[in-house]
Amino acid sequence: MTKFDPLDMNNYRIEKLPKRDKSKFEKWLAVLGPILALIAFILFAYVIKFPFLASIDSTDLVSESAKKVFEKIGSAAFIRNNEFMLAIFVASIILWMTEAIPNYLTSLMLIISLVLTGVLSEKVAYAQLGHPVMWLNIMSFVLASMLVVTGLAKRFALWLIIKFGKNASTIFLSFLFINLVLSAFISATTAKAAILLPIFMVIAAIYGAKSGEKRNNFGRSIVLQNLLNINLGAGAFVTGSGANLLAAAIIGGAIGGNIFFSDWMMAMFPVMVSLMFIGYFVAMKIFFPLSPEERIPQIEGGMERLKQEYEKLGSITFLEIKSAIIFIAILALWATDSIHGISATAVAFFGAIVALLPRIGIVKWNEVDIPWHLMLFSAGAYTLGAGLDETDLPSISVNAFFDHLGIGDHTSFWLLYLLLTAVMLFSALLFQSKTMRAMIFIPIAIGVANRFGFDIVSLALPVAFMIEHVYVLPFNSKPAALLYETDQYSLTDTFKYGFTMMVISWLLIIIAGETWFRYLGITPNGVFGIF
pLDDT of 488-514, one tens digit each?
A: 888 899 999 999 999 999 999 999 999
Band (62; pLDDT cuts 50, 70, 90): low
Q: Look at residue 260 in the predicted model and tell me its pLDDT.
A: 85
Q: Is the pLDDT of residue 71 over 50?
A: yes
**Eight-class DSSP state of 407:** -
Residue 360 is assigned to a structural domain of this protein: yes
> Do the Cβ atoms of 251 and 438 come closer than 8 Å?
no
The total number of residues shown for the chain amounts to 531
Q: Look at residue 531 in the predicted model and tell me its pLDDT.
A: 40
Q: Look at residue 102 in the predicted model and tell me its pLDDT.
A: 86
CB atoms within 10 A of CB 403: 12
Band (40; pLDDT cuts 50, 70, 90): very high
pLDDT (tens digit per residue) in 217-230 = 999 999 999 999 99
Q: Look at residue 59 in the predicted model and tell me its pLDDT.
A: 47
Q: Which residues contact 412 (CB under 8 A, 6 or more apart)?
A: none
Residue 473 is assigned to a structural domain of this protein: no
Which of 196, 271, 276 is CA-nearest to residue 421? 271
- CA-CA distance, 497 to 272, in Å (whole number)? 17
> Do the Cβ atoms of 498 and 228 come closer than 8 Å?
yes
Residue 478 is assigned to a structural domain of this protein: no
Residues 75 and 143 in one domain: no
Mean pLDDT of 415-430: 91
Residue 52 is assigned to a structural domain of this protein: yes
Number of domains in the chain: 2
Residues 103 and 183 in one domain: no
Residue 454 is assigned to a structural domain of this protein: no
Mean pLDDT of 70-76: 72
Q: Is the pLDDT of residue 2 over 80?
A: no
Band (17; pLDDT cuts 50, 70, 90): low
Band (455; pLDDT cuts 50, 70, 90): very high
Residues 211 and 108 in one domain: no
pLDDT (tens digit per residue) in 115-153 = 999 999 999 999 988 888 788 878 888 887 887 788 887
- CA-CA distance, 513 to 411, in Å (whole number)? 17
Model pTM? 0.80
Residues 378 and 350 in one domain: no
Which of 242, 523, 250 is CA-nearest to residue 394? 250
Q: Please state at what angle helix 168-183 crosses helix 261-281, rounded to 10 degrees.
A: 160
Which of 163, 214, 275, 217 is CA-nearest to residue 509? 275
Q: Look at residue 469 in the predicted model and tell me its pLDDT.
A: 94
Residues 216 and 266 in one domain: yes
Q: Look at residue 461 in the predicted model and tell me its pLDDT.
A: 95
Q: Choose the final residue of a domain: 331, 359, 391.
A: 391
Q: Choose the final residue of a domain: 358, 391, 424.
A: 391
Residues 69 and 188 in one domain: no
- Kindly provide the residue ranges of all beta strands, DSSP E only, lying in 79-130, ordered along the sequence: none
CA 360 to chain centre: 33
Mean pLDDT of 344-350: 88
Q: Look at residue 93 in the predicted model and tell me its pLDDT.
A: 83
Residue 363 is assigned to a structural domain of this protein: yes
Residues 287 and 164 in one domain: yes
Q: Is the pLDDT of residue 16 over 70?
A: no
Q: Look at residue 15 in the predicted model and tell me its pLDDT.
A: 56
Q: Look at residue 471 in the predicted model and tell me its pLDDT.
A: 92
Mean pLDDT of 371-388: 82
Q: Is the pLDDT of residue 409 over 70?
A: no
Residues 110 and 161 in one domain: no
Give me the half-sphere count of Cα atoms (radius 13 Å) on the Cβ side of residue 327. Answer: 22
Residue 71 is assigned to a structural domain of this protein: yes
Q: Is the pLDDT of residue 242 over 90?
A: no
- CA-CA distance, 142 to 137, in Å (whole number)? 9
Q: Look at residue 245 in the predicted model and tell me its pLDDT.
A: 83
CA 193 to chain centre: 13
CA 147 to chain centre: 20
Mean pLDDT of 361-380: 83
Residues 7 and 35 in one domain: yes
Give me the half-sphere count of Cα atoms (radius 13 Å) on the Cβ side of residue 214. Answer: 7
Q: Look at residue 57 in the predicted model and tell me its pLDDT.
A: 55
Residues 106 and 192 in one domain: no
Residues 357 and 379 in one domain: no
- ∠288-489-19 over CA atoms, to 5°? 160
Q: Which amino acid is at 31?
A: V
> Do the Cβ atoms of 462 and 263 come closer than 8 Å?
no
Q: Is the pLDDT of residue 66 over 70?
A: no
- Measured in degrees and rounded to the nearest 5, phi and psi for residue 241 equal -160, 160
Q: Is the pLDDT of residue 112 over 90?
A: yes
Q: Look at residue 417 in the predicted model and tell me its pLDDT.
A: 94
Residue 409 is assigned to a structural domain of this protein: no
Average pLDDT, rounded, for the chain = 84
Segments forming the whole domain that contains residue 117 = 1-128+372-391
Q: What is the end-to-end Cα distance of the chain in Å, rounded?
A: 62
Residues 261 and 338 in one domain: yes
Q: Choose the final residue of a domain: 367, 382, 399.
A: 367
pLDDT (tens digit per residue) in 431-454 = 767 877 888 889 889 888 988 889
Mean pLDDT of 319-346: 86
